[in-house]
Amino acid sequence: MSLPLEGLSAIVTGAGRGLGRAEALVLAGLGASVVVNDFGQPGRDGSGAASAGPAEEVAAEIRAAGGTAVAHRGDVADREQAGELVALAISAFGKLDVLVNNAGILRDRMIFSMSEEEWDTVIRVHLKGHFNTTHFAAVHWRERSKAAGGPVYGRIVNTSSEAFLAGSAGQPNYAAAKGGIVGLTTSTAMALGKYGVTANAICPRARTRMTEDVFAGFAEPSGPGEMDALAPEHVSPLVGYLASPAAGRINGQLLVVHGGMVAVMERPRVAAKFDTSKEAFSYEELDDVLSGYFGGRPEGESFGAAEVLGLKRG
């Protein structure tokens, strides 16, 4: 019996540790050949011993388990390096089938305290990084589709966040980047669908090195063998599924995943519509219709969906 991703190749960015590592291991376990990308460089581990770097360590872990993997040490937010990453997958495995964009950083600060560098860095790594790899993968799939005279196999799984959905007050840069990634995902889904490519986004909640401060107050496993509700391994199976042929009809969707739960988010809908009784709205007419409408809504309610933060299994 063949594995779901047998014969397919995948890229996972930011896969040297945490969520990306778990995703790379799942894809490899499902049969994919994987390019493990991480910006981390060779150096020394905690004991002082020489380290090949996180990307090569995960690739070696996959190979030791009988899988196929190569490492790429590069910054996906750098256009040239992102192009080299996609080219590596094509040269190593003949083609690219799956792109998982996971690489990211945090620079948390309230909007009134945030520096320009903190804003630019997060937008660059998350949003530009997602765009760069998606661009080069899209070029590859479009060219393959034209050569084949029809659709080809392509899957994109992007990483958004509940910070975008709920409006995280201390993460204006991160929330904006993750919201932008959702827009990038839906646009890409529309553009590449005719070539056989799907693009979806997930909002994972996982305890990793990047989020250890964010989730410091969340309960950790209390007994031996108990799985952390915020373990990356709760998220990675969904990535494996979205990368598979079974998910071919899922396109342009946003899913929240953590702790043994997957929630499919509904697209925005029009809550109310007002038409002017004249040629154009006046201030007075807008005051009448909009102040009346919002005066009847719950105080503090916004477009942000804070209730998403309360989702849990069961």
50 pLDDT higher than 70: no
Q: How many other CB atoms sit within 10 Å of the CB of residue 173?
A: 24
> Angle at which helices 79-93 and 129-148 pack, to 10 degrees?
40
Confirm if 228 and 205 have CB atoms less than 8 A apart: no
228 pLDDT higher than 90: no
Q: What's the mean per-residue pLDDT of the chain?
A: 92
Looking at residue 104, its pLDDT comes to: 95
How far CA 40 is from CA of 17, 81, 108, 173, 233, in Å, comes to: 10, 14, 21, 23, 22
Q: What mean pLDDT is predicted for residues 275-303?
A: 94
Among 153, 160, 168, 178, which one carries the catalytic annotation?
178
Helix ranges (DSSP H) in 98-167: 116-122, 129-148, 162-166
41 vs 211, more confident? 41
Among 9, 33, 145, 161, which one carries the catalytic annotation?
161
Token pair for 90:
């094509």
- Point out the least confidently predicted range of 124-133, 177-186, 211-220, 229-238: 211-220
Among 33, 153, 174, 195, which one carries the catalytic annotation?
174
224 pLDDT higher than 70: no
How far CA 218 is from CA of 59, 227, 263, 312, in Å, comes to: 31, 14, 20, 13
CA 52/CA 22 separation, integer angstroms: 19
237 pLDDT higher than 60: yes
**How much of the chain, in percent, has pLDDT values that exceed 70?**
90
Residue 43 binned pLDDT confidence (cut-offs 50, 70, 90): low
The DSSP secondary structure of 234-266, one letter per residue, reads: GTHHHHHHHTSGGGTT--S-EEEEETTEEEEPP
178 included as an active-site residue: yes
pTM of the model: 0.91
Per-residue pLDDT tens digits for 86-132 = 999 999 999 999 999 999 999 999 999 999 999 999 999 999 999 99
146 included as an active-site residue: no
273 included as an active-site residue: no
159 pLDDT higher than 80: yes
